[in-house]
Amino acid sequence: MKYFFLAEGWAVGRVWEFGGLWNETAWRRKPEIERLNICFVEQNEKLWLYQVEEEIIMVEVNPTEQNSSATSTIGQVVLKRLISAEQVIELLATAETFNPHFVKE
């Protein structure tokens, strides 16, 4: 498995695998992306941990409609590189505030 952190107010857009953009017709399914019940706070921003399947190499994230500060910037998109479980542990160990028991919204 691979992982990435995503701030509240952002959502996953396009997904890349080794052959390029994820093609639901070719794969016959959507990519497996799951928000886990773990987050930490960094610079007053809550970052949620997401788990993705091994075939995914990168994801695009976009601000959601509720994220009013980000939607004021037209066309704001970020590509997220994925990290390993060991990198997740390192980030959580150095986080300002960490709580594995936040309730999913």
The answer to the question of residue 46 being in a domain is: yes
Would you say the C-alpha torsion 7, 11, 14, 17 has a positive or negative sign? Answer: positive
C-alpha span between 69 and 29 (Å, rounded): 33
pLDDT digits (tens, 9 = 90+) for 51-100: 999 999 999 999 987 665 544 555 677 888 899 999 999 988 888 776 66
Position 105 in a domain? no
45 contact partners, CB below 8 Å, separation of at least 6: 7, 8
**What length is written for the chain?**
105
Do 3 and 50 form a contact (C-beta atoms < 8 A)?
A: yes
Mean pLDDT of 19-35: 96
Q: Establish if 6 belongs to a structural domain.
A: yes
Residue 70's domain comprises 2-99
Structural domain total, the chain: 1
The residue type found at 4 is: F
Q: Which residues pair with 11 in a beta bridge?
A: 62
Rg (CA), the chain: 14
- Evaluate whether residue 76 is within a structural domain: yes
pLDDT digits (tens, 9 = 90+) for 64-76: 876 655 445 556 7
Q: Is 104 among the domain residues?
A: no
On whether residue 64 sits in a domain, the answer given is: yes
Contact 57, 17 (CB under 8 A): yes
Residue 89 lies in a domain: yes
pTM: 0.81
